[in-house]
A = this chain, B = another copy of it.
């Protein structure tokens, strides 16, 4: 029996094109297509509409790919989600994988690669391209775990930096020389590859070092 696929993408033309590709594979068949996550969740209320694999766009209106995947993962853990996106954005890829996607394909994927990806997801449970693997490796090395790279004192400084205080004032509060504070800043900029304090603030908030 053929494996069932559902395509979720607000770009109808594209979802149909992908559906066409899938129909060309003898092991797979398209159950239906959806425009966004909410529509998909509606469909799933009828068990007949639950497929083996969901090909999910990341950027969608109403309910985006990340949230949809997370909800699917919780309610229907047997359904494999394969992300499909034009964006090669690191954080997006990571977010999708964290949400539970079994793979992440670029939308300009070749027909044959789509097929092997689908097959691998059925057989191995996942399919990761080189790009994705690289992102994964990077994520655990430097940036992603600030706790390992950043020292206690630096984290403390960062919290102060997410404030209207000047470095001079931060130095006073931490009972250190302004020069030492500068040293912290430089070290952090280097490690995190930042250009200025604004970048640091955004980083701190994204990584929950500082909660606004």
8 Å CB contacts to B: which residues of A153-171? 161-164, 166
Smallest beta-carbon distance A83→chain B, Å:
21
Smallest beta-carbon distance A95→chain B, Å:
13
8 Å CB contacts to B: which residues of A177-200? 194-199
Smallest beta-carbon distance A136→chain B, Å:
22
Smallest beta-carbon distance A88→chain B, Å:
19
Name which residue of chain B comes closest to A203, CB basis. Answer: B212
A174, CB-defined interface residue at 8 Å: no
Contact of A205 among B161, B195, B199, B205 (CB under 8 A): B205
Name which residue of chain B comes closest to A205, CB basis. Answer: B212
Copies of this chain, tallied across the complex: 2
Contact of A201 among B194, B195, B202 (CB under 8 A): B202
A206, CB-defined interface residue at 8 Å: yes
Q: Which residues of B contact A197 (CB under 8 A)?
A: 197-198
Smallest beta-carbon distance A60→chain B, Å:
17
Name which residue of chain B comes closest to A206, CB basis. Answer: B212
Name which residue of chain B comes closest to A204, CB basis. Answer: B212
Q: Which residues of B contact A199 (CB under 8 A)?
A: 163-164
Q: In the complex, what distance in Å separates the CA atom of A166 from the CA atom of B199? A: 11
Q: Which residues of B contact A206 (CB under 8 A)?
A: 212
Q: In the complex, what distance in Å separates the CA atom of A196 from the CA atom of B198? A: 10
Q: In the complex, what distance in Å separates the CA atom of A206 from the CA atom of B162? A: 12
Q: Which residues of B contact A163 (CB under 8 A)?
A: 198-199, 202
Q: Which residues of B contact A196 (CB under 8 A)?
A: 164, 166
Known: A162-B202, A166-B196. 11 other contacts (CB 8 A): A161-B198, A163-B199, A164-B195, A164-B198, A164-B199, A164-B202, A197-B197, A197-B198, A198-B201, A201-B201, A206-B212
A-B contact pairs, 12 of them (CB 8 A): A162-B198, A163-B198, A163-B202, A164-B195, A164-B202, A166-B196, A198-B198, A201-B201, A201-B202, A202-B212, A205-B212, A206-B212
